[in-house]
Structure 1
Amino acid sequence: MCQHQPQCPSADSSDREAAHTVARYPEQGWSLLCNGVLLFEDTGELLPDGQIIAPHRPLGTGLVTAA
């Protein structure tokens, strides 16, 4: 699928999010990468084979402010 040189990571590789963006829909909260991965703004992913990758945002700092 990828025509870039060097070729982008495949959808089943651990660095799949490094692939080039081919379509971006920020108003809908998702982007399509050239390896066929749908990347959602919450960091979740939908792989071309239908596998779902749960969101993996970094957790907060753990600081709590008094109200």
Structure 2
Amino acid sequence: MCRHTPTCPSADSPDREAAHIIASHSEQGWSLLCNAVVVFDDTGDLLPDGRVIAPHRPLTDMA
């Protein structure tokens, strides 16, 4: 449960990655957010209910 003011976005919110980091393991490539989402360096997410959000890096213009 988030105790920040204002509260962090929920795990189901589109802006879930804006939640505060409560544990960071950069050497392993992931961080745990206060909404229980695990965020990976490749921009993928693991939600608390086990759902996986595929990496979602923005596309770059190759022109």
Give the TM-score range, shorter chain: over 0.9
**TM-score normalised per structure 2:** 0.95
Displacement of 1:59 after TM fit?
Answer: 2.1
For these two proteins, the number of residue pairs brought into alignment is 63
Uncovered stretches (5+) of structure 2, i.e. residues with no partner = none
Query: Structure 2 CA distance, aligned partners of 1:4 and 1:30?
Result: 21
Displacement of 1:58 after TM fit?
Answer: 1.5
Equivalent residues in 2 for 1:4-43, closer than 5 Å: 4-43=4-43
User: Cα RMSD over matched residues?
Assistant: 0.8
Query: Structure 2 CA distance, aligned partners of 1:6 and 1:61?
Result: 36
